[in-house]
Chain A
């Protein structure tokens, strides 16, 4: 399976600021997704990152709060904007190829003070 990396691995941020998380894959993949995992909780899909077009957001998530870029088939970014303590979570990217299987990156652990 593809090797997936995320930067940063963790960060502590002040409320009102923004953080951009990067997801890099070592091979071209068809699908890239962004998930949020709040402490001790399950995974919730934020959006599908579409290459060359706007991301597709799930209910409860909006582009102004979570802008996403996907300039090519190996890279995507998620920005968490105007952060509040409620945004403290682990943010994970996942990738999929020609079949339904998804593999996850190592995650970015975010703490907002």
Chain B
């Protein structure tokens, strides 16, 4: 099955700086890559996703890049704010088309702390 690795496990940045979280995946058939933010005691919230037919996607201060050849994708948060502090999870799936293809395989998570 798919194996998703995520780095770093913890990340501290000063407010206003940028944060980058990186993930790699093992199965070249994976074609959908969401990122979830989980605040303490809350459910994972989808913040951005990217499909394999694009290399980059941006939504305000958040961007995701995908390198299919190298099988890695990254989350970039610019102008970080204290409310960005949370655990971030990357995930990968093979999307629709066959049984089990929608299964999400999660990375191990990154605890981001934004220091005011």
A interface residues (Cβ-Cβ under 8 A, vs B) = 31, 33, 41-45, 48, 56, 58-59, 92, 94, 96, 99-107
Contact = CB atoms under 8 A, between A and B. Distances in A.
Contacts, number: 55
Contact of A100 (B1, B89, B102, B108): B102
A57 to B, nearest CB: 10
A31 B43 contact: no
Contacts of A99: 96
Contacts of B51: 100
Interface of B: 1, 32, 34, 36, 42-46, 49, 51, 89, 93, 95-96, 99-100, 102-109
A60 to B, nearest CB: 11
B44 to A, nearest CB: 5
Given A31-B102, A42-B89, A43-B89, A103 B46 contact: yes
Given A42-B107, A58-B103, A102-B46, 12 more contacts: A33-B102, A42-B89, A42-B108, A43-B106, A44-B106, A100-B34, A100-B51, A100-B96, A100-B102, A104-B43, A104-B45, A105-B43
A92 B43 contact: yes
A96 B102 contact: yes
B43 A102 contact: no
A42 B106 contact: yes
